[in-house]
Structure 1
Amino acid sequence: MIDTPLVSGIHDKAAKKIGWRRANMVRTLLSEVFRYNIPKGLIEVNYAKDVIPKRRPRDRAYANRPWNIEERDIVLPRAKPHVHVALALMMNTGLDPTDALKLRKDQIDEDTIWGVRGKTGEEVAIPISPTLQAALDLFPDHEAETVLASSRGEAWTYNGFSTVWHRFKIKLEDEGLIAPDLTLKGMRHTVATTLREAGLDERRIADLLGQKTPSMARHYSRSANLAEKNRETMATLEKEKERRAKIVKPSLKSVKPDQSEDQK
């Protein structure tokens, strides 16, 4: 007989065997199955609804932590040009790595990036900061339709860029320059954290990161006001990064990005 105690027991066993996160996924799956079958008369109650989700263990580190200024100043100057511009794009927009790599040239209109966040389908309008513009201006022209490209002038695949990033990161780790938990997605968290600490409310940050409820029927024209508001948000991000940079004593000499070729 299926009942809530049975589902709760399954949930507990799953947590011990496959971890708290996957156990919660099992609970969610069962809940959806029950919910779908109630109107069909196959079951009367959603027995998973009242099962309490497992919490993240307190001693477990959060994935994709924000980068600090020292890490930014270590990584960017040492990155090869095709990696450098990709990191600069993610770091100065809060774009998810997948969205950044897929960003097309025709999605940039003068000083604004227009797009749709892949995960949520939410429209984004991101002003291009002077820092990002400088990085884009230094990037060699290429034939790919995307803004970013490999050293061969071809659009990046996510796996291709991840491989190059991983090799580069491991090298820095081996040299003792960065901690081993630095991730590409962490740069998105960096933008959100920096703006939150600068005093911006969560709604404005969500607007910049494309975290609102999806609405695929919108047109770019309707985002005109959003773009202007995000311009103020981006200005806050720039000012906060400059303020933080001034209070951190430089520990490394500034070097230009490595001009050697990278491998896709």
Structure 2
Amino acid sequence: MLDRAAPHVRAAVALIMNTGLDPSDALKLTRNQIEGDTIWGVRGKTAHEVAIPIGPTLKAALEAAPAHDAVTILATSTGTPWTYNGFSTVWHRFKKKLEAEGVVQPGLTLKGLRHTVATTLREAGLEERQIADLLGQKTPSMARHYSRSANLADRNRITMETLEQENERRSKAIKPFTKNVKP
């Protein structure tokens, strides 16, 4: 999908899918919110602060974005800051084209990319608090909500292996038997 996107759209989608930021928050990020290799922001909906390290994939996508003079990190093809409605329109047209070509499944949303980040992190074994911190959620319950479709079968296999090993170990432990002897 990213390979097919116009460079200014690619940068925006890459930012959302590599940070878990809400699309409206991602589009509002300003250049001065990047310090070194970290994005410092505030989740618009919760006013919760986030500190998001910029990994190699995101760094490459941002560096490949067309140069512009907008105060925001992301900009349109004309170099002006995106509005949410403007980006949503461009995204919708791009997504519909990819759906028609069978590249993406119907129903893909920008907000869904946020859910994908949470799900990926949950499947990788991160705790709900860690996911909530990245997403800018005050409580882990929203991280649980965002990652509710995570496939935990592989992680649960590891848990079951641990349980089986522990049961085996415990079944071999011999505890001394003491009779109740009256003095």
One-letter amino acid matched to 2:95: K
Q: Secondary structure at the match of 1:113?
A: strand
Q: 1:123, 1:168 → 2: CA distance?
A: 31
Match of 1:176 in 2: 102
* 2:123 matches 1:197: yes
Cα deviation code 1:92-138 (max 9, x no counterpart):
00000000000000000010000100000000000000100011111
Identity within the alignment, % = 73
Work out the CA distance in 2 between the residues paired with 1:189 and 1:140.
27
Paired position in structure 1 for 2:2: 76
- Map of 2:63 onto structure 1: 137
Match of residue 36, structure 2, among 106, 110, 127: 110
Number of aligned positions between the proteins = 139
Letter paired with 1:78: R
1:146-202: CA deviation from partner (whole Å, max 9, x where unpaired): 000000000000000000000111111112222111000111111110111111110
Determine helix, strand or coil for the equivalent of 1:83.
helix
Distance 2:66 2:8 in 1: 9
Report whether the alignment pairs 1:165 with 2:91. Answer: yes
Hey, what's the Cα distance between the residues in 1 that align with 2:97 and 2:67?
A: 28
Report what 2:156 is aligned to: none
- The normalised TM-score by structure 1 is 0.52
Give the 3-state SS of the residue equivalent to 2:25 in structure 1: helix
Aligned residue number for residue 15 of structure 1: none
Which amino acid in 1 is paired with 2:63? D
Moved over 4 A (4+): none
| 1-structure distance, mates of 2:27, 2:132 | 21
1:139 Cα deviation after fit: 1.3
Aligned to 2:78: 152
Could you tell me which runs of 5 or more consecutive residues in structure 1 were left unpaired when the two chains were aligned. Answer: 1-74, 214-264
Pair 1:124-2:34 in alignment: no
Aligned to 1:186: 112
RMSD: 0.8
Does 2:94 match 1:94?
no
Letter in structure 2 aligned against 1:166? H
**Which amino acid counterpart does residue 134 of structure 1 have in structure 2?**
A
Secondary structure of the residue aligned to 1:151 is: coil
User: Which amino acid in the other structure matches residue 51 of structure 2?
Assistant: A
CA deviations 1:220-256 (Å, max 9, x no partner) are xxxxxxxxxxxxxxxxxxxxxxxxxxxxxxxxxxxxx
Query: For the pair shown, which has the larger CA radius of gyration, 1 or 2?
Result: 2
Distance in 2 separating the partners of 1:205 and 1:171? 32
